Amino acid sequence: MTTAVPPGTLGAALDDDPQRGPETTGDVRWSGGRVLVLNATYEPINVCTVRRATVLLLKEKAEVLEHARTEVRWASGSLPRPVVIRLVTYVKVPRDSHKRKITRRAVFARDDWQCQYCGARTTLTVDHVIPKSKGGGSGWDNIVASCAPCNRRKGDRLPHQIDMHPRQRPRTPSPQLFIQLASPTIPATWRQYLAKH
């Protein structure tokens, strides 16, 4: 069975009641209290809170693939704290949803935190490869990380006018990039699931 989720509502589909529910115990600092959510096909699709993951498990909408040594406890029970869960029913994730999430941080991460003109890793800004004044858009295919000196040098000119071309062609990043940005550190238990996609 396939459940379609409208764009921008994946979080709501995975949400729980904020007024009640299980609480976590133990040390969860190593992963920031985040849980990797896989689709029924084992494709990584989201990162959620331990509480949200626990609610999905209790409603039998997900199963635990990896858990921590600590527990999640509530008035009438407990279970091992989930680290990786898999949805039981396939959720159709709109492929264009990631195109709307253009942030400076996401552009820098996609471009490996380096200027796409000279390779510098300091004073990063974003640059429109084709300037907006020359008809360039603000999509993933026209924005790159640029150090401030290169951005000033290029100015409002086209790449061929100043012989400044990005080292890599700008592209829409994979959904995995957003999962990595959602969690300050990637726990070792997540890596095997992220490496497959």
In 3D space, the residue among 64, 80, 84, 60 whose CA is nearest the CA of residue 72 turns out to be 80
List pLDDT tens digits, range 14-54. 433 333 344 444 433 334 488 999 999 998 988 899 999 99
pLDDT at 147 over 80: yes
The residue that leads in pLDDT, 97 or 63, is 63
Instruction: Give domain limits for the chain.
Output: 2-95+175-195, 112-162
Q: What is the domain class of 112-162 according to CATH? A: mainly alpha
> Is 5:87 a contact under the CB 8 Å cutoff?
no
- pTM for this entry: 0.57
pLDDT of residue 16: 37
pLDDT of residue 3: 43
The residue that leads in pLDDT, 33 or 78, is 78
The residue that leads in pLDDT, 114 or 9, is 114
pLDDT of residue 128: 97
pLDDT confidence tier of residue 74, bands split at 50, 70 and 90: confident
pLDDT at 197 over 80: no
- Give the chain's mean pLDDT: 81
pLDDT at 4 over 90: no
Residue-wise DSSP of the chain? -EEE--TT-HHHHT---TTS--EE-S--GGGTTEEEEE-TTS-EEEEEEHHHHHHHHHTTSEEEEEEEEEEEEETTEEEEEEEEEEESSEEE--TTGGGG---HHHHHHHTTTS-TTT---SSEEEEESS-GGGT--SSGGGEEEEEHHHHHHHTT--HHHHT---SS---PPPHHHHHHHHSSS--HHHHHHHHT-
pLDDT of residue 13: 39
pLDDT confidence tier of residue 183, bands split at 50, 70 and 90: confident
Task: Report percent pLDDT > 90 for the chain.
Answer: 52
In the structure encoding, which two tokens stand for residue 111, read together?
């471009």
